[in-house]
Amino acid sequence: MTASAFLHPGLWLAAAGVAAFFLRGRARQALLLAAPLAALAFVWMIPEGLHGRWEFLGFDATLARVDRLSRLFATIFAIMAFAGALFAMRQASRLEVPAAFVYAGSAIGAALAGDLLTLFIFWELMAVGSTLVLWSAAGPKAFAASRRYVAVHLFGGMLLMAGIAGHVAGTGSIAFDAMLPDTVAKALILAGFLLNAGAPPVSAWLPDAYPEASWSGMVFLSAFTTKTAVYVLIRGFPGAEILVPVGLFMVFYGIVYAILENDMRRILAYSIVNQVGFMVTGVGIGTEMALNGAAAHAFTHIIYKALLLMSAGAVLMQTGKRKCTDLGGLFRTMPVTAACGIVGALAISSFPLTSGFVSKSMISQAAADGHLLAVWLALAAASAGVFLHAGIKFPWFVFFQKDSGLRPAEPPASMRAAMLLLAFLCIAMGVAPEPLYAMLPHPVSYVPYTGGHVVGMLQLLLFSGLAFFLLLPMLRRTLTITLDSDWLYRRAAPRLIAPLGAAIAAGRRAVVTPVLGALAGLANGAGRFGSPRGAFGATWTTRATVMLVLALMAGVLLFSYR
Partner 1 sequence: MLAEHFPALLVVTPLVAAPLIVVVRSARAGWAMALAACLAAVLMAAQLLARVAASGPVSYAIGSWPPPWGIEYRVDAASALVALLVSAIGTASVVYARRSAAAEIGGERLYLFYALMMLCLAGLLGMVVTGDAFNLFVFLEISSLSTYVLVALGRDRRALTASFQYLILGTVGATFYVMGVGILYLATGTLNLADLAVRLPQAADPRAATVAIAFITAGLGLKLAMFPLHAWLPGAYAHAPSAVSAFLAGTATKVAIYALARIWFSVYGADALLRDIPVAPVLAALSVAAAFIASGAAIVQDDLKRMLAYSSVGQVGYITLGLSLATEPGVAAAIAHVVNHGVTKSALFMLAGAMALRLGGTRFSDLAGVGRTMPVITFAFVIGGLSLIGVPGTAGFVTKWALAGAAIRAGQPVFAAVVLLSSLLAVAYIWRFVECAYFREPPAGAPAPGEAPASMTGTALALTAAVVAMGLHGAPVLGAAGRAAAALMGGAR
> Distance (Å, rounded) from C-alpha 51 to C-alpha 55?
13
Nearest to 274 by CA among 174, 199, 214: 199
Cβ nearer to partner 1, comparing 55 with 182: 55
Q: Are 437 and 444 in contact (CB under 8 A)?
A: yes
Convert residues 12-51 into a mask of x (bound to partner 1 by CB under 8 A) and - (unbound).
Answer: ----------------------------------------
92 binds partner 1 per the rule CB under 8 A: no
What is the number of alpha carbons within 13 Å of residue 282 lying toward its C-beta? 29
Cβ nearer to partner 1, comparing 124 with 212: 124
1 binds partner 1 per the rule CB under 8 A: no
Report, in Å, the least distance between residue 239 CB and partner 1: 27
Q: CB neighbours of 512 closer than 8 A, spacing ≥ 6?
A: none
- State which of residues 168, 358, 425, 426 lies at the interface with partner 1 (CB under 8 A): 168
Angle at 337 between CA 332 and CA 341, to 5 degrees: 110
Nearest to 271 by CA among 241, 309, 235: 309
- State which of residues 151, 413, 438, 458 lies at the interface with partner 1 (CB under 8 A): 151
169 binds partner 1 per the rule CB under 8 A: yes
CA pseudo-torsion sign 216, 219, 224, 229: positive
Q: CB neighbours of 408 closer than 8 A, spacing ≥ 6?
A: 315, 318, 319, 330, 333, 334
- State which of residues 3, 55, 201, 409 lies at the interface with partner 1 (CB under 8 A): 55
> Distance (Å, rounded) from C-alpha 422 to C-alpha 428?
10
Cβ nearer to partner 1, comparing 438 with 546: 546
6 binds partner 1 per the rule CB under 8 A: no
Convert residues 426-455 into a mask of x (bound to partner 1 by CB under 8 A) and - (unbound).
Answer: ------------------------------
120 binds partner 1 per the rule CB under 8 A: yes
- State which of residues 83, 158, 464, 483 lies at the interface with partner 1 (CB under 8 A): 158
Convert residues 229-248 into a mask of x (bound to partner 1 by CB under 8 A) and - (unbound).
Answer: --------------------
Report, in Å, the least distance between residue 125 CB and partner 1: 7
Q: CB neighbours of 298 closer than 8 A, spacing ≥ 6?
A: 73, 76, 227, 230, 231, 279
102 binds partner 1 per the rule CB under 8 A: no
Question: Residue-wise over 185-217: b if at least 16 C-beta within 10 A, else e?
Answer: bbbbbbbbbbbbbbbeeebbbbbbbbbbbbbbb
Cβ nearer to partner 1, comparing 45 with 535: 535
Cβ nearer to partner 1, comparing 144 with 458: 144
- The region of 5-13, 230-238, 504-512, 541-549 touching partner 1 under the rule CB under 8 A is 541-549
State the DSSP string of 156-190: HHHHHHHHHHHHHHHHS--B-----S-SHHHHHHH
Residues 509-538 that bind partner 1 (CB under 8 A): 526-527, 529-532, 534, 536-537
- State which of residues 7, 128, 417, 420 lies at the interface with partner 1 (CB under 8 A): 128
- State which of residues 115, 124, 261, 263 lies at the interface with partner 1 (CB under 8 A): 124
CA distances from 247 to 92, 241, 411 (A): 38, 10, 36
Report, in Å, the least distance between residue 340 CB and partner 1: 35
> Distance (Å, rounded) from C-alpha 228 to C-alpha 233?
9
Report, in Å, the least distance between residue 425 CB and partner 1: 34
Q: Are 93 and 138 in contact (CB under 8 A)?
A: yes
Cβ nearer to partner 1, comparing 2 with 542: 542
- State which of residues 155, 331, 400, 449 lies at the interface with partner 1 (CB under 8 A): 155
552 binds partner 1 per the rule CB under 8 A: yes
549 binds partner 1 per the rule CB under 8 A: yes
> Distance (Å, rounded) from C-alpha 361 to C-alpha 347?
12
56 binds partner 1 per the rule CB under 8 A: yes
Nearest to 267 by CA among 255, 279, 278: 255
Report, in Å, the least distance between residue 77 CB and partner 1: 20
555 binds partner 1 per the rule CB under 8 A: yes
Nearest to 271 by CA among 252, 258, 289, 287: 258
Convert residues 351-390 into a mask of x (bound to partner 1 by CB under 8 A) and - (unbound).
Answer: ----------------------------------------
- The region of 5-13, 156-164, 272-280, 470-478 touching partner 1 under the rule CB under 8 A is 156-164
> Distance (Å, rounded) from C-alpha 490 to C-alpha 497?
9
Beta-bridged to residue 53, according to DSSP, are 62
177 binds partner 1 per the rule CB under 8 A: no
Angle at 141 between CA 145 and CA 19, to 5 degrees: 70
Nearest to 537 by CA among 547, 552, 527: 527
Binders of partner 1: how many residues, by CB under 8 A?
Answer: 51
State the residues that interact with partner 1 by CB under 8 A. 55-58, 120-121, 124-125, 128, 135, 140, 143, 147, 150-151, 154-155, 158, 161-162, 165-166, 168-170, 184, 526-527, 529-532, 534, 536-537, 539-542, 544-546, 548-549, 552-553, 555-557, 559-560
